[in-house]
Amino acid sequence: MAFKNSIAWYYFSSPKNFYPLAGRLIPWFWGLSVILLVVGLYMSFFVAPTDYKQGESYRIIFIHVPAAWMSMLIYLVMAVYAIIGLAWKLRMAEMMASALAPTGAMFTFLALWTGAFWGKPTWGTYWVWDARLTSELILLFLYIGYISLQSAIDDPRRAARASALLAIVGVINLPVIYWSVKWWNTLHQGASVSPTMEPKMASVMVTAMLVMTFAFWMYTIAVVLMRVRRTVLERESQTSWVKALVGDRVENSSAGEKQ
């Protein structure tokens, strides 16, 4: 069994075999993402009750918290791929790490942005330099630094190695973000939902938040697979299989133009 699994692992770690697999998976993840998003948004706006203290403005939580969770999860997955890429010198892992970064940066920005617009009506300010907000901002800078470093180096293998180190060092920031509200006094409130205790919110609210999180998660996988397929074509453009694949299409399209 383990033997069989390890064969599949090595089989799909080759860009040539991963490319068609990703292509087959993408529509499924898009489908799941859209369904979950529709259900999640409906629950967020029509099923979940008004909050006793904040009224309707708390509903931004259904975007804010899933986006913040995804920003941290994506960074963690990115760092794991970076470690695998460094230790095993697997091209596919390197490409996955770099494909995750833009989506991670987007969710980090979304978390900060929705947080600011939630903070104004409730706390009375868009921004405050407390530990939670500042460490999440550092996460955005880590993503931007990672993307910049990668595009600053021309050789893709060297770019992958340098940026992987940055990604791995940045992992230190994740526990700081997660436990910042516990370790220091902050304006940001503590966690409402965590694996170690009963949720401190109505259960339908928790469900809506989880559905939104899975919607974002499926969206992330779909988008990252699309991005990684493009990177595979770019980086493997000298291989015979890409030439054969692209050559077919070029011939087809030029044939189409002639008609």
* Spatial contact of 137 and 96, defined as CB atoms under 8 Å apart: no
SS3 50: coil
> Does residue 37 bind another protein (CB under 8 A)?
no
> Does residue 68 bind another protein (CB under 8 A)?
no
> Does residue 27 bind another protein (CB under 8 A)?
no
**Spatial distance between the Cα atoms of 88 and 186, rounded to a whole number of angstroms:** 41
Q: Give the pair of three-digit tokens for residue 93.
A: 């892992």
- Which one among 76, 128, 159, 166 touches another protein, defined by CB under 8 A? 128
> Does residue 52 bind another protein (CB under 8 A)?
yes
> Does residue 189 bind another protein (CB under 8 A)?
yes
Residue 208 Cβ, how far from another protein at the closest point, in Å? 11
> Does residue 43 bind another protein (CB under 8 A)?
no
Q: Which residue has the tokens 């006094």?
A: 185
**Spatial distance between the Cα atoms of 199 and 202, rounded to a whole number of angstroms:** 8
Site string for another protein, 154-183 (x = CB under 8 A): --------------xx-xx---x------x
Residue type for position 236: E
Binding to another protein (CB under 8 A) within 213-232 occurs at none
Strand partners, 51: 55
- Which one among 4, 24, 53, 249 touches another protein, defined by CB under 8 A? 53
* Spatial contact of 108 and 139, defined as CB atoms under 8 Å apart: yes
**Spatial distance between the Cα atoms of 27 and 19, rounded to a whole number of angstroms:** 14
Return residues touching another protein (CB under 8 A). 49-54, 58, 61, 83, 86-89, 121-125, 128-131, 168-169, 171-172, 176, 183-187, 189-192, 200-202, 205
